[in-house]
């Protein structure tokens, strides 16, 4: 080989080596103004040259890692206590250095789900949303990238301008404000604990639980940096597109508002619990708190009867979960989007119509915050849930229904006897149990006695079993009951 060819080959090899160099970088969730979880080891990760040593430093604490053969590295900072001070997070690898400024230690919550979680803060809430120690991070976009979404402003300091645009205050056509449920929840946590709060909004309208669950083979079917045409009703896609770049970010817990598009899904209990289990494995925390909103009355997707059952099942069977009840969150005025009317078939009150986006999300957010303050932070908040079915016993022509979560006792919100109870003697019509409207009376702090004219030997009882049921049964703390049935008929 001539000297000229040898020299050219050496230049090509050198250029290739330069091009192959992996620039020190971190996922897009790591930006200025970030809040890192206090009192827990904090995962920091990214990419660098293979084999290179990486050092992460924050508040006088350091952690080291070594990039693997693909250039991936992960370090874990020791647990630190929030002190309200703005810190700098530095990451160094040889002569490369990345620095994040205005970093706070505090409480971090992931706010996920579908369109109800995405409904933005509006009105007076926007004008007063000046909270320098609350930080917002909004994940959106439909392009899968290894380091996370490509459509985000990064972490931003909460202000009226920022919360109205869910970003850094720069107006962008079509961009919506930050989640009302997420913001009201986070504000309550911030005010109660007196520490910074970081909120990560990660939702997609029309999504199912399976969409957010990692699914084998999905990653191989997607092309990075290319938009994904369909983001919902495709198992695993939203995990790959929206969530993958967030794992294994350290957060205190999850608040979740989803289920509408699982209305016809008879396996929602299994899918929902599988999603929670998968997230806990991904974040390496079996006890990761997962608190969710009960879906309000709607005829969307044939109604939420099965979702209500599945959500209550999850709360009772999946550890470290809880449900914020919702039967009363629609505002009872025309301007508020709800007019109470009477169901022609049962003669009982029903809510609104088919709209799956109820008003009153501040109530849901407050209930989620109370659950978190009580269950996660050990700050007692009194009664957290509305009355839920416990058991029933037939006594002649009556049915005695026992409830749990009754607080200081059962009552009604209008002073009348409880409505929306029905009983059946087991007779069927076209394979469905026939129910008759029943009279109900509160006969104890946690019991309701139910009977119906003409039903001498009742076998089954149900309550609020209608997609739009607007019932009056509550506990004395004002929290509404949850619908139930005792039979196993198809919905």
CATH no. for residue 37?
Answer: 2.60.40.10
Cβ burial 364-397 (10 Å sphere, 16+ → b, else e): bbbbbbbbbbbbbeeeeeebbbbbbbeebeeeee
Return the closest-CA partner of residue 118 out of 294, 256, 278.
256
Is 7 a member of any domain? no
Domain count, the chain: 3
Return the closest-CA partner of residue 292 out of 469, 485, 114, 467.
114
How far apart are the C-alpha atoms of 67 and 63, rounded to whole Å? 13
Mean pLDDT of 50-63: 98
Read off the pLDDT band of 429 (50, 70, 90): confident
Mean pLDDT of 40-62: 98
Distance set, CA 216 to CA 93, 180, 236, 239 (Å): 34, 34, 8, 11
- 330 and 349, same structural domain? yes
Distance set, CA 243 to CA 101, 227, 315, 420 (Å): 24, 15, 24, 41
Residue 124: partners with Cβ closer than 8 Å, 6 or more residues away: none
Distance set, CA 238 to CA 9, 108, 150, 209 (Å): 45, 21, 14, 10
Contacts 24+ apart (CB under 8 A), 39-42: 39/79, 39/80, 39/81, 39/82, 40/79, 40/250, 40/252, 41/76, 41/77, 41/78, 41/79, 41/250, 42/76, 42/77, 42/79, 42/80, 42/250
Is 283 a member of any domain? yes
SS3 label, residue 349? strand
Is 2 a member of any domain? no
- 470 and 364, same structural domain? no
Q: Are 414 and 432 in contact (CB under 8 A)?
A: no
CATH no. for residue 409?
Answer: 2.60.40
Is 5 a member of any domain? no
Is 122 a member of any domain? yes
- 148 and 89, same structural domain? no
Angle between helices 180-193 and 361-375 (to 10 degrees): 40
Token duo for residue 234 = 């495709």
Domain boundary pick from 79, 103, 127: 103
Q: Are 134 and 158 in contact (CB under 8 A)?
A: yes
Give 104-114 pLDDT, tens digit per residue.
999 999 999 99
The residue whose two tokens read 């007063």 is 128
Model pLDDT, residue 365: 98
Domain boundary pick from 375, 406, 441: 375
Share of the chain above pLDDT 70, in %: 90
Model pLDDT, residue 477: 98
Average pLDDT, the chain: 91
Model pLDDT, residue 274: 98
Please say whether the dihedral angle defined by the alpha carbons of residues 206, 294, 289 and 181, taken in this order, is positive or negative.
positive
Mean pLDDT of 408-422: 97
Is 364 a member of any domain? yes
Give 203-249 pLDDT, tens digit per residue.
999 999 999 999 999 999 998 888 998 999 999 999 999 999 999 99
> What radius of gyration, in Å, describes the C-alpha atoms of the chain?
26
Any idea what DSSP says for residue 295?
P
Tell me: pLDDT of 6 over 50: no
Model pLDDT, residue 15: 41
Q: Are 103 and 31 in contact (CB under 8 A)?
A: no
- The mean-pLDDT minimum among 258-262, 357-361, 476-480 falls in 357-361
Work out the burial of residue 217: count CB atoms within 10 Å of its CB; fewer than 13 is exposed, 13-18 middle, 19 or more buried. Answer: exposed
Residue 90 CA, distance from chain mean position: 31
Model pLDDT, residue 152: 58
- 225 and 370, same structural domain? yes
- 298 and 202, same structural domain? yes
Model pLDDT, residue 345: 87
- 336 and 251, same structural domain? yes
How far apart are the C-alpha atoms of 190 and 377, rounded to whole Å? 12
CATH no. for residue 278?
Answer: 3.40.50.1110
Which segments within 218-288 are labelled E, that is strand? Answer: 253-257
Distance set, CA 92 to CA 47, 79, 347 (Å): 11, 20, 70
**Which runs of consecutive H residues, i.e. helices, occur in 259-304?**
268-283
- 147 and 72, same structural domain? no
Angle between helices 268-283 and 305-317 (to 10 degrees): 40
pTM: 0.93
- The mean-pLDDT minimum among 67-81, 130-144, 307-321, 325-339 falls in 325-339
Return the closest-CA partner of residue 108 out of 283, 360, 297, 262.
283
Domain range for 88: 19-103
- 137 and 26, same structural domain? no
Mean pLDDT of 180-184: 98
Count of other CB atoms within 10 angstroms of residue 488: 7
Token duo for residue 452 = 């119906």
Read off the pLDDT band of 19 (50, 70, 90): very low
Read off the pLDDT band of 151 (50, 70, 90): low
- 302 and 247, same structural domain? yes
- 252 and 242, same structural domain? yes
Read off the pLDDT band of 354 (50, 70, 90): confident
Give 296-339 pLDDT, tens digit per residue.
999 999 999 999 999 999 999 999 999 999 999 975 544 444 45
How far apart are the C-alpha atoms of 471 and 422, rounded to whole Å? 12
Tell me: pLDDT of 2 over 90: no
- 465 and 352, same structural domain? no
Model pLDDT, residue 431: 82
Tell me: pLDDT of 172 over 80: no
Domain boundary pick from 103, 119, 139: 103
Model pLDDT, residue 167: 64
**Which runs of consecutive H residues, i.e. helices, occur in 351-435?**
361-375
Q: Are 156 and 136 in contact (CB under 8 A)?
A: yes
Read off the pLDDT band of 430 (50, 70, 90): confident
How far apart are the C-alpha atoms of 294 and 322, rounded to whole Å? 10
Is 212 a member of any domain? yes
Is 298 a member of any domain? yes
- 393 and 340, same structural domain? no
């Amino acid at each position: 080989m001539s000297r000229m060819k040898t020299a050219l080959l050496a230049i090509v090899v050198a250029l290739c080596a330069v091009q192959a160099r992996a620039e020190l970088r971190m996922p897009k969730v790591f930006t200025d103004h970030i809040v890192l979880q206090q009192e827990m080891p904090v995962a920091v990760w990214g990419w660098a040259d293979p084999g290179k040593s990486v050092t992460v430093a924050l508040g006088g604490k350091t952690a080291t890692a070594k990039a693997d053969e693909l250039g991936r590295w992960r370090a874990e900072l020791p647990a630190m206590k929030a002190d309200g001070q703005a810190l700098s997070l530095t990451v160094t690898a040889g002569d490369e250095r990345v620095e994040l400024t205005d970093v706070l230690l505090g409480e971090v919550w992931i706010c996920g789900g579908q369109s109800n979680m995405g409904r933005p803060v509006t009105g007076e809430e926007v004008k007063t949303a000046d909270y320098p120690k609350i930080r917002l991070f909004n994940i959106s976009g439909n392009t899968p990238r290894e380091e996370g979404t490509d459509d985000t402003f990064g972490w931003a300091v909460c202000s009226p301008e920022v919360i109205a645009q869910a970003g850094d205050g720069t107006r962008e056509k079509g961009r919506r404000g930050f989640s009302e449920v997420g913001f009201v929840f986070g504000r309550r946590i911030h005010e109660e604990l007196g520490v910074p709060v970081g909120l990560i909004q990660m939702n997609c309208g029309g999504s199912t639980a399976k969409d957010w669950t990692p699914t084998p083979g999905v990653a191989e079917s997607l092309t990075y940096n290319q938009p994904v045409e369909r983001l919902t009703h495709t198992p695993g896609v939203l995990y790959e597109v929206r969530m993958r770049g967030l794992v294994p970010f350290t957060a205190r817990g999850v608040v979740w508002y989803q289920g509408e598009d699982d209305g016809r899904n008879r396996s929602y209990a299994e899918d929902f619990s599988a999603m929670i289990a998968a997230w806990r494995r991904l974040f390496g925390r079996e006890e990761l708190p997962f608190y969710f909103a009960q879906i309000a009355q709607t005829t969307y997707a044939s109604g939420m009867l099965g979702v209500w059952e599945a959500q209550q099942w999850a709360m009772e069977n999946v550890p470290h979960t809880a449900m914020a009840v919702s039967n009363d969150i629609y505002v009872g005025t025309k301007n508020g989007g709800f007019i109470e009317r009477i169901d022609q078939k049962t003669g009982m009150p029903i809510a609104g119509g088919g709209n799956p986006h109820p008003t009153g999300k501040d109530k849901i957010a407050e209930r989620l915050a109370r659950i978190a303050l009580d269950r996660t932070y050990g700050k007692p908040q009194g009664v957290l849930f509305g009355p839920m079915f416990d058991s029933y016993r037939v006594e002649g022509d009556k049915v005695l229904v026992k409830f749990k979560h009754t607080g200081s006792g059962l009552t009604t919100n209008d002073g009348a006897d409880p409505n929306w109870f029905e009983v059946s003697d087991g007779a069927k019509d076209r394979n469905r149990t026939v129910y008759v409207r029943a009279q109900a009376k509160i006969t104890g702090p946690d019991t309701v006695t139910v009977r119906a004219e003409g039903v001498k030997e009742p076998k089954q009882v149900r309550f609020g079993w209608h997609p739009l049921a607007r019932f009056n049964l509550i506990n004395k703390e004002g929290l509404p009951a949850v619908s139930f049935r005792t039979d196993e008929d198809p919905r």
